[in-house]
Structure 1
Amino acid sequence: MRLLPRTRERWLLKRIPPGPSVRLDQRCIFIMPSAVGMAFMIALLLMLVAAINYQNSLAYALTFLLGSVFIVTILHTWRNLAGLVLQATRAQAVFLGEQVRFRVRLESRGRLYQAVALCWPGGELQRVDVPAGGTCEVELSLPSEHRGWLKPGRLRVESRFPLGLLVAWSWVDLQLAALVYPRPEAGELPQTAGTDDVDEGSRAHGAGVDDYQGLRDWQPGDSRRRLHWKAFSRGQGLLVKDFSALVGEEPLLDLDALDGDLEARLSRLCHWVLELSSRQQPFALRLAGKTMGPGDGADHRNLCLRELALFGQQEREP
């Protein structure tokens, strides 16, 4: 009886539990004859029938020799996966519509593994050789079709080495996940004054990009674009150019201030997060009453992009 997909998944969950690292052993590896192997077995059966019919000793010898080769191939095909360690590596975030590139590390803790193939269900196999006692990486791509976490699920690992008569395979869940940001789309800047109730003369100065104030010591998180290389070449250490802006003048990117459907509004906000970050302009982002910032720099940009990607989704972590 053929197992239903959900039943198969529950069975695999118990037999091969998910994890960032999986070592293939006898519980994880399945093996059966390939199409070529089935044809080989039928040919052996016909040879055996012919040998019995004609009582030919040479036919018996050839049949049993090829049969023993088939049996030995079972062990070698299984051993080409046994002991192999698969590890997940962190996938880079992408924007909606781009290809997500997952990297899987294959590690050998002993022998050489040859012609090991990996693919997603229904995808194209990618074959690699894993050196004895070494590692190699395989890059597998998937299209991003929706924002949020992209979880490809179980990965097929198989081997037909050495003769292709049998196929040994396994389904492993390395808990791979990649964050997909909304697709950036240009549109009107949804900005409002951060402190409209404050008088012009009473606003204080803070970090910004408007007025040059001088040089200060470099601190972790400072943009490399502001480094003063001439001072560094004169042996004065790492200094950065300091700018100021009026506090309260930072743009506020408010989701509720935009018109249109949710995905279109998130795409426009994503565009302006990238645009203002490239200008090194401090800004704040407000999503359904939750405000991030004001701030600037890569950390603030990544935080805002993450919140845009996961907005309205219950699952926040992969």
Structure 2
Amino acid sequence: MLQVRWGRWLSRRIPAASSIRLSQRKIFIIPSLVGAAFGVALILMLLAAINYQNSLAYGLTFLLASVFVVAILHTYRNLAGLVLKGGGSGAVFVGEQGRFRVRLESLARAHQAIALGWPPEPLQVVDVPARGISQCELSVPALRRGWLRPGRMRVESRFPLGILVAWSWVDLDQALLVYPRPLEGELPLAAGHSDDQEEQGGRAHGRGADDFQGLKSYQPGDSKKRLHWKAYSRGQGLLVKDFASLSGRDLWLDFEALDGDTEMRLSLLCHWVLQLSERQQPFALSVPGCVLPPDSGDAHRDACLRALALFGSAA
């Protein structure tokens, strides 16, 4: 309940935005563990000065206390005025690290040793020059498919003495798409198209959906993963492996043609979407609530992967 109230209070005080400038309302500051020990030492020194009525002890105690007060101002100023902006982030697969780009801008003075990240992941430290820009890339593990929203990011500073920590929690409204983890398996074809393939003598199941026809000369735009490096090493030039469809028709990847739980089916479909896209072979995808017609190319691959990632979600 306390976490929920704390989150609501933060949402009102520091609303989510793609660009946030740290100001007095957005910065909090307390003594660090070193600062707490420093404060205890000052109290002991003051008690000793009172007990022995030692003027030098008084002077040293109040001098160190004034350093503590001045450090509050400098620690706060190191964060105040800093502008944080969220950058673009690419899609990843389940099990990979989602990477978010953050841009830090200084409108006036330099900002030293700014640490930022999402706990419990280690915070990344970066310096921002005066009237300059610094960029960093932060990683978050992608544990499940769909939209990965890291939430509020911690930004803190212990500069210059480390006896105080000033921090803020900012939400740069960042998100990236997490695709299912690819899983090798049988080619999941729709029933009607699978029967047609078997009538033509094709093989609808197994490791591949194409028949190897031979080698052809490399043309700009051909997949580099099809390059025949052994032929190149023998001085035969750049050749690529040529495949032809066994069925002579577009393939239909069907969710209902698979057995197993939902995540396993989506992982198998993800594998074949990547394989067929790499071979530049047209295919269609059918999942409950979404049917993508036969097509090829990067745009079609991305649309299929997006449909698999968002399967069963409201958005």
Q: TM-score range by the shorter chain?
A: 0.7 to 0.9
Task: Calculate the TM-score normalised by the size of structure 2.
Answer: 0.82
CA contact (8 A) 1:196 1:248 kept: no
Residues 310 and 289 (structure 1), Cα distance of their counterparts in 2 relative to 1, 3 Å cut: closer
CA contact (8 A) 1:119 1:125 kept: yes
Q: Which letter maps to 2:250?
A: E
Q: Which letter maps to 1:176?
A: Q
Distance in 2 of aligned mates of 1:105 and 1:175? 13
Unaligned 5+ segments in structure 2 are 197-211, 214-219, 224-243
> SS state of the match for residue 164, structure 1?
coil
1:222-259, CA deviations, whole angstroms, 9 ceiling, x for partnerless residues?
A: x8328xxxxxxxxxxxxxxxxx9999810001111211
Q: CA deviation at 1:289?
A: 4.8
CA contact (8 A) 1:194 1:248 kept: no
CA contact (8 A) 2:93 2:181 kept: yes
Distance in 2 of aligned mates of 1:246 and 1:264? 26
> SS state of the match for residue 27, structure 1?
helix
> SS state of the match for residue 140, structure 1?
strand
- Identify which of 158, 161, 164 aligns with 1:160: 158
Match of 1:171 in 2: 169
CA contact (8 A) 1:17 1:173 kept: yes
Q: Which letter maps to 2:38?
A: F
Residues 22 and 289 (structure 1), Cα distance of their counterparts in 2 relative to 1, 3 Å cut: closer
Match of 1:224 in 2: 221
1:1-318 mapped onto 2 (5 Å cutoff): 4-192=2-190, 224-225=221-222, 249-314=249-314, 316=315
Identity of aligned residues (%): 62
1:4-57, CA deviations, whole angstroms, 9 ceiling, x for partnerless residues?
A: 100100110100001111111001000011111111111111222222222222
CA RMSD between the two structures: 2.8
Q: CA deviation at 1:293?
A: 2.2
Residues 49 and 131 (structure 1), Cα distance of their counterparts in 2 relative to 1, 3 Å cut: same
> SS state of the match for residue 113, structure 2?
strand
1:184-239, CA deviations, whole angstroms, 9 ceiling, x for partnerless residues?
A: 11111122466999xxxxxxxxxxxx99xxxxxxxxxxx8328xxxxxxxxxxxxx
Count of residues in correspondence between the two structures: 279
Match of 1:204 in 2: none
Distance in 2 of aligned mates of 1:260 and 1:58? 79
Q: Which letter maps to 1:91?
A: S
CA contact (8 A) 1:195 1:248 kept: no
Q: Which letter maps to 2:117?
A: C
Distance in 2 of aligned mates of 1:248 and 1:290? 25
CA contact (8 A) 2:290 2:307 kept: no
Distance in 2 of aligned mates of 1:248 and 1:305? 24
1:70-110, CA deviations, whole angstroms, 9 ceiling, x for partnerless residues?
A: 11100000000001111111211111111111221111111
Task: Calculate the TM-score normalised by the size of structure 1.
Answer: 0.81
Distance in 2 of aligned mates of 1:99 and 1:195? 37
CA contact (8 A) 2:276 2:283 kept: yes
Match of 2:241 in 1: none
Q: Which letter maps to 1:31?
A: I
Unaligned 5+ segments in structure 1 are 198-209, 212-222, 227-243
> SS state of the match for residue 156, structure 1?
strand
Residues 257 and 67 (structure 1), Cα distance of their counterparts in 2 relative to 1, 3 Å cut: same
Runs of 4+ with >3 A deviation: 192-197, 244-248
Q: Which letter maps to 1:81?
A: L
Q: Which letter maps to 1:250?
A: D
